[in-house]
Amino acid sequence: MSDDLATYLTDHMAGSVAALDLLGRLRDAHEGGPIAATAARLIDEIGGERKVLDGLAEKVGATPPLPRKAASWAAEKATQLKLLYDDPAAGGLRLLESFEALSLGVEGKRLLWRSLRAASARRPELVGPDYDGLIALAEDQRGRLEPHRLAAAEEALAPAPPA
Residue 33 lies in a domain: yes
pLDDT in tens, 110-144: 999 999 999 999 999 999 999 999 999 999 999 99
Please tell me the predicted confidence (pLDDT) of residue 3.
81
How many domains does the chain divide into? Answer: 1
Please tell me the predicted confidence (pLDDT) of residue 101.
93
88-96: long-range pairs with CB below 8 Å, 24+ = 90/29, 91/155, 91/156, 92/152, 92/153, 92/155, 92/156, 92/157, 93/156, 95/148, 95/152, 95/155, 95/156, 96/149, 96/152, 96/153, 96/155, 96/156, 96/157
Residue 163 lies in a domain: no
pTM of the model: 0.83
Residue 28 lies in a domain: yes
Cα atoms in the Cβ-side hemisphere of radius 13 Å centred on 70: 3
> By residue range, what is the domain housing residue 76?
3-156
Please give the Cα distance from 33 to 27 (Å, whole number): 9
Please give the Cα distance from 12 to 9 (Å, whole number): 5
pLDDT in tens, 27-80: 999 999 999 999 999 999 999 999 999 999 999 888 755 555 555 555 555 555
Residue 37 lies in a domain: yes
Residue 125 lies in a domain: yes
